[in-house]
A and B are shown apart, each in its own frame.
Chain A
């Protein structure tokens, strides 16, 4: 890039960035690019001291309850996605975004029925991140896997790679969004464990909240690395499993009684 470039001085920006990192967010000359939080803004940033995850007790997951799915759709503005005119039912089902879905299973031998919600499993070694050509799929320090829409080119390689079919491609124009869930045609997205809540210091996801409110308590959200968290304690006492454990992805979402 030429130095005739009509942009702020990058070197200076870098320098100042470093200074500020050292000094903490202080008030300095205006106009320079700093990471300045608004007073009262909750903004620590992520740390790898935590790893967020879920434990789902399939025994408690009720038969035709969709509270978690509905809550997710509301929380993340998925219910604002309009069905394009002229799209068939089948196509709408196969093409609309879904971050979380209910699945009912039947054991082939015993006939036992199991209900469970499926979503992005927030793999520790996420195949979607490995294959993404631009680095748009990434894992935050706290273990949440998400897509940076600003760099996603919509190649869908991540969808090919995900063993859980956890990702959705946005197949149509989207007119309405929530502030916390930007969404537009041509990018891929998936469950992000309600990242805006976590960043705001909230320790519950929309799905967990809804499940609890309905009295099922099938979903427990928490910090896998904190031995005192309810999640960690439960994992210690109950036998849980990862779906497709054979792939050794060390998922952040675990299930009991499957």
Chain B
């Protein structure tokens, strides 16, 4: 379990603020990889600010359920991250999502957080023709995110949200 020290937490807040600033001031400056499926969507399975902060918790939570209890097709799925966020390589294929400068790497690299998922997990969307039983069924799950206004991220405590919004407003 990563333990956060005050300084890390502070840095985290700062980063979140920075990203939020980017996201609010100019929509087109999104960190979402241009040309990926995600670029054409309104929002992720949760508001962007929340995803930035808690995606690992969400993934961890649902993975236990999937591996141990065989519950499949959950809202938070790493395979779906890859499906939406992987960039095309221009030859009909995909770039690895954890490759240098790609979606996962960019942030993890910047924050110096080890990205361990792809030591074992597939890094590109599944081939169309693969006889895989797991189907990624598109947008239904994202309805949750669509119901939200920006900044209405319920996973932050009230205090955190205030700080967060203050940071955003300062801009």
Contact = CB atoms under 8 A, between A and B. Distances in A.
In their complex, do chains A and B touch, with some C-beta pair under 8 Å?
yes
A179 B132 contact: yes
Interface in B81-132: 119-123, 126, 130-132
B70 A39 contact: no
Interface string B16-27: 000000000000
Contacts of A182: 120-122
Given A31-B46, A31-B54, A40-B140, 4 more contacts: A30-B152, A37-B71, A138-B68, A183-B120
Contacts, number: 146
Contact of B134 (A142, A148, A179): A179
Contacts of B62: 35
A39 B140 contact: yes
B41 interface: no
Contact of B74 (A27, A36, A142, A185): A36
Given A6-B9, A7-B57, A8-B54, A1 B3 contact: yes
B133 A196 contact: yes
B3 to A, nearest CB: 7
B32 interface: no
B133 A45 contact: no
B57 to A, nearest CB: 6
17 contacts: A1-B3, A5-B4, A30-B50, A30-B145, A30-B154, A31-B46, A31-B155, A39-B137, A44-B71, A45-B69, A140-B68, A140-B70, A148-B68, A177-B122, A180-B133, A196-B72, A200-B134
Contacts of B147: 30
Contact of B154 (A31, A38, A75, A195): A31
Contact of A30 (B1, B67, B148): B148
Given A37-B75, A179-B79, A180-B132, A199 B70 contact: yes
Nearest to B133: A200
Contacts of B50: 30-31
Nearest to A140: B70
A89 interface: no
A202 B135 CA distance: 13
Given A179-B79, A182-B122, A184-B120, A142 B70 contact: yes
Main secondary structure of the interface of B (DSSP, over half): loop
A233 interface: no
Contact of B12 (A6, A46, A198): A6
Contact of B65 (A9, A45, A150): A45
Given A5-B4, A200-B134, A32 B155 contact: yes
A245 interface: no
Closest 4 CB pairs of A and B: A41-B73, A184-B120, A31-B155, A39-B140
B133 A35 contact: no
Interface in A189-222: 195-200, 202
A29 interface: yes
Nearest to B5: A4
A149 interface: yes
Contacts of B65: 35, 45
A150 B62 CA distance: 12
B63 A150 contact: yes
B122 A179 contact: yes
Contacts of A75: 131
B72 A36 contact: no
Interface in A1-56: 1-2, 4-9, 13, 27, 29-46
B137 A38 contact: yes
Contacts of A6: 4, 8-9, 12
Contact of A8 (B3, B4, B134, B155): B155
Contacts of B120: 149, 174, 177, 182-184, 187
B35 to A, nearest CB: 21
A170 B154 CA distance: 41
Given A43-B74, A179-B79, A38 B140 contact: yes
